[in-house]
Amino acid sequence: MKKIAIYGKGGIGKSTTVSNLSRALAATGKTVMQIGCDPKADSTKSLVGGKRIPTILHTLKEKKKSTKLEDIMVVGDGGVLCLEAGGPTPGIGCAGRGIISAFELLEELNAYEIYKPEIVIYDVLGDVVCGGFAMPLRKGYSDEVFIVTSGEMMSMYAASNIAKAVRQFSNREYASLGGLILNAKNIENEGELVKKLSTELDTSIIQYIPRNPIVQKAENLGKTVVEAFPDDEMSKIYMDLAQKIIKEENDNEK
Ligand code: ADP
Ligand code: SF4
Ligand code: MG
């Protein structure tokens, strides 16, 4: 089982990228589990027809100890196993604590043993990399971290902070930084700016994803691009990203 965490600033395109990546991985025959770790709880929306699925935190609050896997997991397009950690009531509680509770519950319910996902992808908000939001980096929850960024200052600032957080745990052999995913916003010199950042962070840009209105078109249909427009150039880009992730998985196993 390979576990990857995809971090990035809010609104940068994490969920879009992660959902398309999950769907692309599923198209290659992989069993994929996608876990949304953003209080927005819309990570898996485009895999389940544009609706929202019950969050783990909310379900735990309602059903407590009687919560079952079927209450919190929805099988989405391509068989992707979809989960959302959820978030606290605004102004009360800790979002990071929610992520921890969600992870603990998945372990208690033996989610990984029962469904045997080959690839688990955590879609994590990276604006604040506090202890809670760093949870997917800790204690072996993820092997590798990828950061979605554009060339905008604020998203590169967040990327830099996330990379620092990853390094905090690297000496304990937890997660390592796999690279940056450049989700373009078409700003001036974007490629050069993100290339410079990757050098500063001692990593590389593993995928360039252009800005493309087909993403919204698919979103309006409640679908990923890979599901709705499999022959489009954009689907090929997400498939390409999936192949890179699979290749790394195979290389690491050697
Ligand atoms: P995040 O999960 O980082 O908060 P989302 O994935 O929800 O961000 O994306 C925010 C918005 O940006 C969405 O409306 C999505 O359609 C759009 N978007 C993301 N990536 C692209 C892209 N490559 N081209 C066009 N629109 C995109
Ligand atoms: Fe929780 Fe992080 Fe918010 Fe602190 S900053 S309350 S640890 S989510
Ligand atoms: Mg999101």
Least reliable range by pLDDT among 83-97, 153-167, 178-192, 217-231: 83-97
Name the residue of 16, 149, 190 to mutate for ligand 1: max ligand atoms within 8 A of Cβ: 16
Give the atom of ligand 1 at the shortest distance from the alpha carbon of 148. 3
CA-to-CA distance for 87 and 231, rounded, in angstroms?
Answer: 36
Residues with CB under 6 A from ligand 2: 94-97, 128, 130-133
Under the banding of pLDDT at 50, 70 and 90, the label for residue 151 is very high
Query: Pocket residues for ligand 1 (CB within 6 Å)?
Result: 8, 10-16, 183, 209, 211-212, 215-216, 219
171: pLDDT strictly greater than 80: no
The model's confidence at residue 254, banded by pLDDT at 50, 70 and 90, is low
**Residue 91 Cα to chain centre, angstroms:** 25
Q: Is the dihedral of CA 80, 126, 237, 213 positive or negative?
A: positive
Q: What is the pLDDT of residues 73-120, one digit of tens each?
A: 999 999 999 999 999 888 888 888 889 889 999 999 999 999 999 999
pLDDT confidence bin for 137, thresholds 50/70/90: confident
Please compute the mean of the pLDDT values over residues 141-152 and round it to a whole number. 95
- CA of 94 from ligand 2 middle (Å) equals 5
Ligand 1 pocket: which of 35, 186, 215 to mutate (most atoms within 8 A of CB): 215
Active site residues: 9, 14, 40, 127
> Do 238 and 18 form a contact (C-beta atoms < 8 A)?
no
ipTM above 0.90, yes or no: yes
pTM: 0.96
